[in-house]
Amino acid sequence: MTAVNLYDTTLRDGTQREGISLSVDDKIKIARRLDDFGIHYIEGGWPGSNPKDVEFFERVRDMEWRNAQITAFGSTLKKDNRPGDDPSIQALLSAGTSVVTLVGKSWDLHVTQVLETILGKNLEMIGESVAYLKAHGKEVVYDAEHFFDGYKANPAYALKTLESAASNGADVLVLCDTNGGTLPWEVEQILRQVSSKIEIPLGIHAHDDAGCGTANTLAAVRAGVVHVQGTVNGYGERVGNANLCTIIPDLQIKMGVTCVPEVNLAQLSELSRYVAEVSNLPHDKHLPYVGESAFAHKGGIHVAAVLKTEASYQHIDPTLVGNQRRTVVSELSGRGNVLDKSRQFGLDVSRAQASEAAAKIKDLESKGFTFESAEGSVRVMLQRMQADYKPPFELVDFMVVVERRQGREMLAEATVKVRVGDKEVHTAAGGNGPVNALDAALRKALIDFYPQLANVRLTDYKVRILDSDSGTSASVRVLIDTKNGKQRWSTVGASTNIIEASWSALEDSMEYALMNGDIEVA
């Protein structure tokens, strides 16, 4: 095996995931990225199922595609229809794509209990549908739905469904593990048996219900399939489909099977994040290969080894898939974690300072702080250790008042006194809550000295109760996410007083914002 064709079904099967609803513009954006990456087939949707997919095919019909063929998906004709008057078959023709994908039943249980017809009639439905589309000049991908369950229940009949599609001109037969419950050795064994009887190319479409979607796809390639279906990030119904972002590097890097041009592989992490963003979903940090944590090292022993030779705790060079090695700083960190993180920040930290910082981090984490998700606070901590460090501002004092008077809404006001250089500023500001008021007052105090803070925005504020058994006297952890254009950072504070915890995170956030570039007091 030297190469396989990649068939992406993110825009159809992927959108069946709960929480995903793509507009037509969204689908076109994703299709463009998939095409640029080098995907061979992009399944755009089911034109017979909804107006949105009809519009998609109308809009992409005259677009230029560099690498991919856009594919329309539909089912074989209904049991009482002829191809010429079957809505699903006619919708496939109306889509105007050169490639169509037909899904048909392989499992006798589905034929008799879902389609409510006889086994022979299903074979006719498959054959007539394929023959009709071939007669109209289409390349036909035949998806044998529930094939592995069907083969285990009635192997002779499951094979007959493939033979019906093949004898009527199907270009590739895709064996589907639709319920996602087949195991890798079953997939490989069944495929080897099928390939000894079927001569046309075979493909695989796996779901991940038993956690084996990727493994089943790799097993299928070992057994000789040349067509691989999946979705970006494994999006799909129930627990999802086989994840192309894992399958592609597994095939190309580990198994030597060509999927995309080698230079394109380095775009994989960006593609994964882009599809998540367009789908309005958080990117899963723990995805293999492309997740932010895929090459993150937290344990001190691990980091010490990686700093000597990256291969000691990394199975590939992360740059091959457009990712990067990260060092996480936490209570499990040693001096090496801090030294490596300081180098990433561009700071010159001595071994003694790194040891001091590691000890401080361990102490603070025992009090409720967490730094692995608040690297902005780590950067500020290390910056404060520099010999030439001068704080851009110092808190003198602050006060926050929250009041509710009869007939009026809740009001919050904060007063802040800060020192910038040799100047002291005392300001007040209101807000929709105490933290918002504190943030507004601090910005008001600093803006004349640091106009660049006008572009800094607090984007998220999270509070976690650390010891809920303590009730209202519990310790809390506050995480603040901040952005300045495309740059984002997170800072942390912890205390039994939520305002104090918030101030700690807010102070770090503002100081981090002022570390980017030379800071001069006005």
Residue 470 to residue 401: CA distance in whole angstroms: 25
CB atoms within 10 A of CB 472: 6
DSSP H helices, 242-370, are 244-249, 268-278, 300-308, 335-345, 351-366
Q: Name the nearest CA neighbour of 244 among 181, 180, 293, 288.
A: 288
**What is the C-alpha to C-alpha distance for residues 28 and 58, in angstroms, rounded to an integer?**
11
Please name the helix (run of DSSP H) or strand (run of DSSP E) that holds residue 492, with its range, or none.
strand 487-495
508: pLDDT strictly greater than 80: yes
Give residue 472's pLDDT: 65
pLDDT at 212 over 70: yes
For the ranges 141-155, 241-255, 412-426, the lowest mean pLDDT is seen at: 412-426
Predicted confidence (pLDDT) per residue in 47-89, tens digit = 978 889 999 999 999 899 999 999 999 999 998 899 989 999 9
| DSSP H or E run through 462 | strand 456-465
Q: How long, in residues, is the chain?
A: 522
**Three-class DSSP category at 228:** strand
Is 410 a residue whose pLDDT tops 60?
A: yes
Provide the pLDDT confidence category of residue 217 given band limits of 50, 70 and 90.
very high
Q: How far apart are CA 201 and CA 194, in angstroms?
A: 11
Question: Which CATH number is associated with domain 5-260?
Answer: 3.20.20.70
What's the chain's average pLDDT?
89
Q: CB-side exposure of 305: number of CA atoms within 13 Å?
A: 10
- Every domain of the chain and the residues it spans: 5-260, 394-513
In this model, does residue 333 exceed pLDDT 70? no
Q: Is the pLDDT of residue 408 over 80?
A: no
* Residue pair 325/306 in contact by the 8 Å Cβ criterion: yes
The fold for domain 394-513 equals Double Stranded RNA Binding Domain (3.30.160)
Longest dimension (CA), the chain: 91
Of 219 and 486, the structure prediction assigns the larger pLDDT to 219
- Packing angle of the helix pair 155-167, 119-135 (nearest 10 deg): 20
60 vs 72: CA distance, rounded Å: 11
pTM above 0.95, yes or no: no
Q: Which pLDDT score is estimated for 115?
A: 83
Lowest pLDDT segment from 242-251, 300-309, 499-508? 300-309
Paired tokens of 2:
């030297």
The Cα–Cα gap between 371 and 219 comes to 40
pLDDT category at 517 given cuts 50, 70, 90 is very low
Q: Which of 278, 283, 285 is nearest to 21 (CA)?
A: 278
> Could you tell me which of 243, 110, 223, 245 has the C-alpha nearest to residue 180?
243
For residue 330, name the pLDDT band (cuts at 50, 70, 90).
low
pLDDT at 522 over 50: no
Which three-class secondary structure state does DSSP give residue 246?
helix
Query: What would the two tokens of residue 93 be?
Result: 């023709």
Indicate the angle between helix axes 184-195 and 213-222, nearest 10 degrees. Answer: 30
Helix (H, G, I), strand (E, B) or coil at 430: strand
107: nearest Cα among 142, 157, 143: 157
β-pair type (423-431, 411-420): antiparallel
Give the residues across from 482 on adjacent strands: 458, 489
Q: Helix %, strand %, coil % for the chain, to 5?
A: 45, 20, 35
Alpha carbons 337 and 306: distance in angstroms, whole number:
10
Q: Choose among 186, 164, 189, 255: nearest CA to 218.
A: 255
Q: What is the per-residue pLDDT for 331?
A: 65
C-alpha distances in angstroms, 107 versus 119, 122, 151, 407? 10, 10, 7, 68
| pLDDT at residue number 521 | 36
Share of the chain above pLDDT 90, in %: 57
Give me the sheet containing 487-495, strands edge to edge. 456-465, 476-484, 487-495
CA 476-477-478 angle, to 5 degrees, is 120
- The set of residues, in sequence order, having a beta carbon less than 8 Å from that of 445 and lying 6+ positions away, is 393, 416, 417, 418, 425, 426, 427
